[in-house]
Amino acid sequence: MPEAKTYTGGCHCGKVRYEVTTDLAKVVSCNCSRCSKLGMLLTFVPAAQFKLLSGRDDLSEYLFNTKKIRHLFCRDCGIESFATGEGPGGAEMAAVNVRCLDDVDLDSLTLTPFNGRDM
C-alpha cells in the first residue's frame, strides 16, 4: 500500500494553491460528460486532509446533476483543480484533480475507471 504524502497543487495561473495529503492509491478516471471533457483524474480525501492556501476569493462555483459537489474553478485561468462536497457516507470531502498536483508522475499511477456516464 502506498504511503500518504502531502502534495501541493493549484490552478494554471497560480492564484489558487492548496495542500492535500493522500497516498494516490485510488485515482479515478470518470467518463461522465464533465470529467471526460476536462480530462479530470480524481483522488478523493476527507476534508481534513485538504487545505486551501490561497485563492479563495478567486474561485467560482459550478453545480450540476445532484448538486452535491461544488466544482470550483479559478476565475482567472478557468482551471478546476479541486472540488468539495459530500462523500457517499455524507462526510465532507475534497475531490482533487491529480493533473493539478505538483511533481506527480501520471504515468506511474494506476487509474480506476468509473462509469459516471450511465449514472
> Which pLDDT belongs to residue 112?
87
Say which residue the cell 492509491 belongs to: 25
19 domain residue, yes or no: yes
113 domain residue, yes or no: no
The predicted-structure confidence for 67-118, as pLDDT tens digits, reads as follows: 888 999 999 999 999 999 998 888 999 999 999 999 999 999 999 888 788 8
Contact 107/98 with Cβ under 8 angstroms? no
Q: Which residues pair with 73 in a beta bridge?
A: 60
> Which pLDDT belongs to residue 117?
83
Burial class, 112, CB count within 10 angstroms (exposed 0-12 / middle 13-18 / buried 19+): middle
Domain total of the chain? 1
22 domain residue, yes or no: yes
17 domain residue, yes or no: yes
46 domain residue, yes or no: yes
CA–CA separation, 14 and 113 (whole Å): 29
Q: Which structural domain, as residue segments, surrounds residue 9? A: 5-103
* Domain CATH code at residue 32: 2.170.150.70
> Which pLDDT belongs to residue 1?
61
